[in-house]
Structure 1
Amino acid sequence: MDIVLYALTVLLYGGLAVAGWRAHRDLAPAAALAGMPSGAQLSERMSRASGGSGIGRALLGVALVVHGVLLHTTIFPQNAMVFGFAFALSAMFWLGAGIYWIESFFFPLDGLRLLVLPLACVASIMPLIFGGVRVLPYAAAPMFKLHFVIANIAYGLFAIAALHAVLMLMVEKRLQNMRGVARHASNGWLSSWLDTLPPLLTLEKLLFRLIGAGFVLLTLTLLSGVAFNEQLVDRAFKLDHKTVFAILSWLMFGALLTARRVSGWRGRAALRWVLASFAALLLAYVGSRFVFEVLLHRAVV
């Protein structure tokens, strides 16, 4: 049954990604020749060419349901819990794709879809490749389940925020390169792809909305982790690599939000800070498990 879910998930994500990139490849040259004034129009045409925005969203909704069922059946088999860095990445990009899906109802984000869906497709198949996972005997504990759900939602929010930051850096660099240069001089697949994105201010608004929500959930993750650890081993605080990187990431995101509110911090420096903060979180959440499970062949608690 699991292999069928794996195949269906990859087929749906991969098919939508291929359809989106084909539509982009076919429409970008025509848009450049026609002198299309806005990326929103190109994004709309891409949606229609790749199956229609309504059909595309419906298929992505089906893909998210299938991927969610797959994660549940593989992570929670028979009242136990199996987990590892590959499962962590799969869950992170499942939530990231879900957040994109919700955002797409309010903003033209077909350019972001071209990036999110291939990543979600690759991440969904990784648990089949990397089987070095661990079984958690305390998976049935209500406090742990609460901690696990909150943590994964927080990491999914930060994952999609990091993708937003990458795209914003690319857009800013392109705008700088275009100063004093005619628009047609920057034509190409990358330029036309960036044209499908919303305006930079819209991306910035989405970015800090995601970071704000993720920071609240990361705070709850740390608090629920302390409560769960106290319930499990009668010790409220365990200073290990995972805790250190998680707290460091929390401090960095908190500093970013504070600077944003106090001084309106924005631009490349803020975007690079977002990526550095996410890198610290990734080391806590995925990196430590990868090192222990794949490189050291040890389970982590």
Structure 2
Amino acid sequence: MVVDAQLGQFGDLLFESALGVYVLAMILHAVEHALLRRPARAEESAREPVGAAVGGGSTGAADVNDAPAGAAPPRSRAERFGRMGVSLTVLGFGLHLAMLVVRGFAAQRVPWGNMYEFTAAICLVAVGAWLVVLYRRPELRRLGVFVLLPVIILMFLAGTVLYTQTAPVVPALRSYWLAIHVSAAVIASGILLLAGVSSVLYLLRAAHENTPTRLAWAARLPGADVLDRVAYRATALAFPIWTFAVITGAIWAEAAWGRYWGWDPKETTALVAWIVYACYLHARSTAGWRGRRAAVINVVGFAVMVFNLFFVNLVVTGLHSYAGVG
């Protein structure tokens, strides 16, 4: 298999460009969040139409009644910064997607055969899921800084500690199951990243509502009910995909190693994550377990996913030790 090294280097440049654009977008969202001086309106917990005003709760926005008849109210400074942040996020997503496409052509395989590519793909799915949420609920734009922060951290680690030059995958991964099993794991992990961030923010928002003098900045977050719904719907979408990933992984294991399950560290941790998320969905759908306790379970599931991504892949030795770091 011939590897195009120059095309691979161009993919690395696209990766660095996407990371730089995401950083700028996060800064703009941080400025937007800082300009939101008043607490979020309580009515934002109810679903607003897609065309609703974005960035409600900020000061400096003129009253609709003060605007001329037939004219849109002027945008606040917070909204202008937020919209620029969204535009840069879309640009970064395009560069990010192009990076994986170029990497795939350079290596002549699916572009998630090592930890560098796998982490980059997870971040791409997370940003894509966030943009879908923004399209449906533009008033949630103020969460942009919190969504982009873990994406930037993961991409920075991918581009430094986990970086691997474009190369063919090891023989054990040269299977069509790489495109099926790992793709499902990438999609589920990216969506669950968004769900985990939403649950963390839910806990912070709920803590502010209980002790408003200690976490005053959390008043700028959307209502706890909104964050709870985002986390639940993202997890409900990702869970069957993760289930598919676990099942196809077992099928691949039987084809490669002659057994469906061997309690390998990667398999075991993936099963633990599946159980935790199953408990979350069950708890969240039960009236007595909605709210803080369900959010804590979701955060635990997110922590298990992070543990599975880094510790199991990089520290523990097992049959899934294909990190390709170095």
CA spacing shift, 1:164–1:131, aligned 2, 3 Å: closer
CA spacing shift, 1:4–1:205, aligned 2, 3 Å: same
2:124 partner amino acid: W
Q: Kindly provide the CA deviation profile for residues 21-77 of structure 1, in whole angstroms up to 9, marking residues without a partner as x.
A: 22333x24xx34xx8856841468465321x63x54343222112112223444674
Note the C-alpha offset of 1:230: 2.1
- The secondary structure found in structure 2 opposite 1:105 is helix
Are the counterparts in 1 of residues 24 and 88 from structure 2 also a CA contact under 8 Å?
no
- The secondary structure found in structure 2 opposite 1:130 is coil
TM-score (norm 2): 0.75
1:198 partner amino acid: P
2:279 equivalent in structure 1: 255
2:304 partner amino acid: A
CA spacing shift, 1:222–1:262, aligned 2, 3 Å: same
Q: Kindly provide the CA deviation profile for residues 8-27 of structure 1, in whole angstroms up to 9, marking residues without a partner as x.
A: 112211111112222333x2
Are the counterparts in 2 of residues 64 and 94 from structure 1 also a CA contact under 8 Å?
yes
Are the counterparts in 2 of residues 9 and 63 from structure 1 also a CA contact under 8 Å?
yes
Q: Percent identity?
A: 19
Give the Cα separation in 2 of the matches to 1:173 and 1:46.
Answer: 28
1:93 equivalent in structure 2: 123
Give the Cα separation in 2 of the matches to 1:213 and 1:20.
Answer: 26
1:102 equivalent in structure 2: 132
Give the Cα separation in 1 of the matches to 2:135 and 2:244.
Answer: 28
Give the Cα separation in 1 of the matches to 2:282 and 2:177.
Answer: 30
Note the C-alpha offset of 1:115: 1.3
- The secondary structure found in structure 1 opposite 2:299 is helix
2:20 partner amino acid: L
CA spacing shift, 1:260–1:292, aligned 2, 3 Å: closer
Are the counterparts in 1 of residues 314 and 323 from structure 2 also a CA contact under 8 Å?
no
Once structures 1 and 2 are overlaid, which stretch shifts more, 271-280 or 228-237? 228-237
Gaps of 5+ in 1: 179-184
CA spacing shift, 1:11–1:260, aligned 2, 3 Å: closer
- The secondary structure found in structure 1 opposite 2:285 is helix
- The secondary structure found in structure 2 opposite 1:22 is helix
1:261 partner amino acid: S
Q: After the TM superposition, which residues 139-178 of structure 1 pair with which residues of structure 2 at under 5 Å, given as runs?
A: 139-178=173-212
The alignment yields a C-alpha RMSD, in angstroms, of 2.9
Are the counterparts in 1 of residues 283 and 294 from structure 2 also a CA contact under 8 Å?
no
TM-score (norm 1): 0.80
Q: After the TM superposition, which residues 1-301 of structure 1 pair with which residues of structure 2 at under 5 Å, given as runs?
A: 1-25=10-34, 27-28=35-36, 31-32=37-38, 40-42=55-57, 45=76, 48-50=79-81, 53=83, 56-74=85-103, 77-80=106-109, 83-107=113-137, 108-131=139-162, 135-178=169-212, 191-192=216-217, 194-292=218-316, 299=322
Are the counterparts in 2 of residues 110 and 196 from structure 1 also a CA contact under 8 Å?
no
Give the Cα separation in 2 of the matches to 1:72 and 1:138.
Answer: 23
Note the C-alpha offset of 1:207: 1.1
Once structures 1 and 2 are overlaid, which stretch shifts more, 194-203 or 9-18? 194-203
Give the Cα separation in 1 of the matches to 2:105 and 2:254.
Answer: 23
Are the counterparts in 1 of residues 195 and 235 from structure 2 also a CA contact under 8 Å?
yes
Note the C-alpha offset of 1:262: 3.8
Q: Kindly provide the CA deviation profile for residues 104-143 of structure 1, in whole angstroms up to 9, marking residues without a partner as x.
A: 1222222320112233233223333124659333555222
| Higher percent of residues as helix | 1
Give the Cα separation in 1 of the matches to 2:40 and 2:283.
Answer: 38
CA spacing shift, 1:45–1:191, aligned 2, 3 Å: farther
Note the C-alpha offset of 1:255: 1.9
Are the counterparts in 1 of residues 26 and 85 from structure 2 also a CA contact under 8 Å?
no
